[in-house]
Structure 1
Amino acid sequence: MSLPVAPPGWPAEVRAPGAPEWEASAEAWLLDLCPPDHRSYPVLRRHLVVLARFAVLHVEAGQLACRRGLSEARAELRGLVEPEVVDAVVDTWLREDARLAGARRAVGLVEEAVRGRRFRPRL
């Protein structure tokens, strides 16, 4: 029997697929990714695969919003704030875009595991 393996990009807060209580750790992490109101929907609490799909879509929506904010930042803020503030806003959007890219990879891996994929160690 092989040991549970977590692939690169797997969230540190979630136990490796197949480890004891890994699904409970995945549920807690996925709920933390979603808006707080998602905790009140029974279907998301009862079906981990559904929660994972909701979390993927939520992170992807954040990515779209981030990219829109980045594309509009200079034009929307010009004349409203100083140029260095606009530069700081653009830098913030770039950092958020990078954070969301990592979150998207992680949530995608968790969704794959919830759907039954098991990962193998790489040599």
Structure 2
Amino acid sequence: MALTYSPISSDWPCQVKNPDSYDWERSAAKWLRELVPARYASYPALIRHPVLLARHAQIQVEHEVRVARTALRTARAELPALGLSESVIEHTIKMYAAEVAQLQYIARSIRAVSQALADGAAARSH
């Protein structure tokens, strides 16, 4: 069963054109390049194959989620030793929690774009 994608979907990034649109893969690649460290965005294989870029972006964001979760989980125990006030610690905990939520949303968006890219590549190879 083929999946359909819509920019109206809560997981589809607004920066990426609808897969039915002209040149949508270019908008997907541009968005994905913004999610990876700049040195990766310039590798020829990732430039030529957006599906590889999507894979790398997914791995990158999954690691960022783990880092943010670790920072959140350890903040209350470790930050007081750095001499930070309770209000700074509370603000930092809220910041990490918001970052985890944002990164999870980005990960879902990457999965949606990645699937659309893979579906497009499979359709072209038949």
- Out of 38, 41, 44, the position equivalent to 2:40 is 38
Q: How does 1:1-123 map to 2 (within 5 A)?
A: 5-6=6-7, 7-79=9-81, 80-116=83-119
The answer to whether the 8 A contact 2:32-2:53 is kept is yes
Residues 28-78 of structure 1, C-alpha deviations (whole Å, 9 max, x = no match):
000001111112211100111100100101111110000000011111111
Question: After the TM superposition, which segments of 4 or more aligned residues of structure 1 sit over 6 Å from their partners?
Answer: none
Distance 1:49 1:85 in 2: 41
Q: Say which SS state the counterpart of residue 33 (structure 1) adopts.
A: coil
Distance between the aligned counterparts of 2:11 and 2:36, measured in 1? 19
List gaps (5 residues or longer) in structure 2. 121-126
Greater RCO structure (CA 8 Å; 6+ sep): 1
Query: Alignment length, in residue pairs?
Result: 114
Measured in 1, the distance between the counterparts of 2:19 and 2:99 equals: 28
% identical aligned pairs? 34
Deviation for aligned residue 1:5 = 3.3
Tell me what 2:124 maps to: none
Q: Aligned letter for 1:87?
A: E
Shift of 1:9: 1.3
Whether the aligned pair in 1 keeps the contact of 2:68 and 2:99 (CA below 8 Å) is: yes
Structure 1 alignment gaps of length 5 or more: 118-123
Q: Distance in 2 between matches of 1:40 and 1:24?
A: 15
Q: Deviations over 1:65-102 (max 9, x none)?
A: 00000011111111420111100000000110111111
